[in-house]
């Protein structure tokens, strides 16, 4: 299986100035993404999970190119997206598309659905005949579950789930190779979430797409993902096959995330152990020294503050950033 995207030591840093500070006062550094690495194979789905503020959306936007990276490489089909000029990156822009969290806010309220979906095609292929554009828009609308006779309606006339389908159709009109889904179901009802996730899985299969699926809900992520990466304060805590990570988590943070997913069995739900994270997420402006998770980790020792733990390969493409990780414990979440 060929690698379509290879991210190596990607970092994204923002300069933060306090309100009222003097212009010559040095800005504080906020490391939103800190040396994150992963590979994505063609036709594969990588799930990315973590609490709010862990750097998931920043990672997605750095790959797409809406925010600049501060270091590292983003290798996409042989080219380094992180170090390309805007003109060079435009060549790859059609191959990397994004679905946003708020479906209604991502759509132009002054454009009809047909115009919204067709806009990328007209921008990148301006010589396409109008009849061909209309045909492709209608076909794509039908494929994502929208009636073609709705082509002249405006976004406010649709529900949240329908608006997300419009966003998916817009992202697919250029036939991209990589689709980045930035929490595409978090603003939807549970029943609609399942429909959109199943739709994405069907589109991935039919179009041969590679996906990066970002979400808070691990139960949703494990349903669609081949592999899962867990982020905390911009750093990778664990990275493994979806089934291995959800049934045999090694990192205490991953164990806490999985324990928060309810089990639809009252007996198992009541009997299982539930590790609870104490304290608040530290400020990314002043992260803890050493392991950034140590201030909330129930298994932390004094040496955890000495240095940042490296990603350890513990077998079968399972990586964990904790030299004192807990023994494997099979969980009843499969």
For residues 78-86, average pLDDT? 85
Please say whether the beta carbons of 13 and 29 come within 8 A. Answer: yes
* pLDDT reported for residue 109: 92
Averaged pLDDT for residues 146-150: 91
Q: Are 16 and 30 in contact (CB under 8 A)?
A: yes
Is 39 inside any structural domain? yes
pLDDT band at 330 (very low <50, low <70, confident <90, very high): very low
Q: How far apart are CA 189 and CA 174, in angstroms?
A: 29
Q: Is 290 helix (H, G, I), strand (E, B) or coil?
A: coil
Q: Please tell me the distance from the alpha carbon of residue 333 to that of residue 139, in angstroms, as a whole number.
A: 39
Reply yes or no on whether the pLDDT at 85 is more than 90: no
Residue 117 and residue 158 in contact, taking contact as beta carbons nearer than 8 Å: no
pLDDT at 32: 93
Residue 197 pLDDT level (bands cut at 50, 70, 90): very high
Query: For residue 173, is it within any domain?
Result: yes
3-state DSSP call for residue 46?
strand
What pLDDT sits at residue 279? 76
Residue 69: partners with Cβ closer than 8 Å, 6 or more residues away: 10, 11, 12, 33, 62, 82
Percent of the chain with pLDDT over 90: 51
Query: Which tens digits make up the pLDDT trace of 24-81?
Result: 788 888 999 999 999 999 999 999 999 888 999 999 999 998 899 999 999 998 889 8
Residue 222 lies in a domain: yes
Mean pLDDT of 140-154: 93
Phi and psi angles of residue 11, each rounded to the nearest 5 degrees, phi first:
-130, 145
Classify 299 as helix, strand or coil: coil
Residue 10 pLDDT > 90: yes
| Structural Rg of the chain based on CA atoms | 21
| Structure confidence by residue, pLDDT tens digits, 258-283 | 887 777 767 776 777 776 777 788 88
59: in domain: yes
Give residue 325's pLDDT.
61
* Burial of residue 174 (number of CB atoms within 10 Å: 0-12, 13-18, 19+): middle
Return the structure tokens found at 198.
């199943």
Nearest to 98 by CA among 138, 57, 139: 57
- pLDDT tens-digit readout, 214-264: 988 888 898 899 999 999 999 999 999 999 998 888 898 998 888 877 777
Closest CA to 290 of 300, 280, 277, 275: 300
The domain that holds 168 is classified in CATH as: 3.40.50.300
> Is residue 19 within 8 Å of residue 68, measured between CB atoms?
no
- Cβ of 332: how many Cβ atoms within 10 Å? 12
Read off the DSSP letter of residue 157: G
Interval 90-104 mean pLDDT: 87
- Cβ distance 275 to 252 under 8 Å? yes
277-283 contacts at long range (C-beta below 8 A, 24 or more positions apart): 277/253, 281/51, 281/52, 281/53, 281/233, 282/233
Q: What distance, in Å, lies between the first and last C-alpha atoms of the chain?
A: 26
Asked whether residue 138 is domain-assigned, the answer is yes
* Residue of higher predicted confidence among 198 and 298: 198
C-alpha–C-alpha distance, residues 254 and 245, integer Å? 8
Please say if the pLDDT value at position 333 is more than 80.
no
Six-digit token string for 270: 């009541």
pLDDT over 50 at 332, yes or no:
no
Which contiguous run of DSSP H or E holds residue 158? none
**Mean pLDDT, residues 102-126:** 91
Residue 212 is part of which domain span? Answer: 3-14+29-249
Domains in the chain, number: 1
Q: Is the pLDDT of residue 328 over 90?
A: no
257, 218 Cβ separation under 8 angstroms = yes
Indicate the angle between helix axes 113-124 and 160-172, nearest 10 degrees. Answer: 20
Q: Exposed (0-12), middle (13-18) or buried (19+): which is 9, by Cβ within 10 Å?
A: exposed
């Amino acid at each position: 299986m060929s690698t379509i995207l290879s991210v190596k030591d990607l970092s994204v840093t923002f300069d933060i100035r306090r309100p009222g500070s003097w212009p010559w006062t040095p800005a504080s550094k906020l490391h939103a993404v800190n040396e994150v690495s992963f590979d994505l194979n063609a036709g594969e789905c990588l799930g990315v999970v973590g609490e709010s503020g862990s750097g998931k959306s920043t990672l997605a936007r750095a790959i797409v190119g809406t925010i600049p990276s501060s270091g590292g490489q983003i290798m996409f089909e042989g080219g380094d997206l992180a170090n390309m000029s805007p003109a060079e990156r435009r060549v790859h822009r059609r191959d990397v598309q994004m679905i946003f969290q708020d479906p209604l806010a991502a759509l132009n309220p002054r454009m009809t659905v047909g115009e919204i979906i067709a806009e990328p095609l007209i921008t990148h292929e301006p010589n396409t005949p109008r009849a061909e554009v209309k045909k492709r828009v209608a076909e794509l609308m039908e494929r994502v579950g929208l009636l073609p006779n709705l082509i002249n309606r405006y976004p406010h006339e649709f529900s949240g789930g329908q608006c997300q389908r419009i966003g998916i159709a817009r992202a697919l009109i250029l036939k991209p190779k990589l689709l980045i889904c930035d929490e595409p179901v978090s603003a939807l009802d549970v029943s609609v979430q399942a429909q959109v996730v199943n739709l994405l899985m069907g589109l991935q299969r039919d179009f041969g797409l590679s996906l990066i699926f970002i979400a808070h809900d691990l139960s949703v992520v494990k349903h669609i993902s081949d592999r899962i990466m867990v982020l905390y304060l911009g750093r990778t805590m664990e990275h493994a096959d979806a089934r291995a990570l959800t049934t045999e988590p090694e990192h205490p943070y991953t164990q806490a995330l999985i324990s928060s997913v309810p089990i639809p069995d009252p007996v198992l739900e009541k009997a299982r152990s539930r590790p609870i994270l104490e304290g608040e997420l530290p400020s990314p402006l002043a992260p803890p020294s050493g392991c950034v998770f140590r201030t909330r980790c129930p298994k932390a020792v004094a040496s955890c503050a000495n240095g940042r733990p490296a990603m350890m390969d513990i077998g079968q493409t399972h990586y964990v950033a904790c030299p004192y990780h807990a023994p494997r414990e099979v969980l009843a979440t499969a």
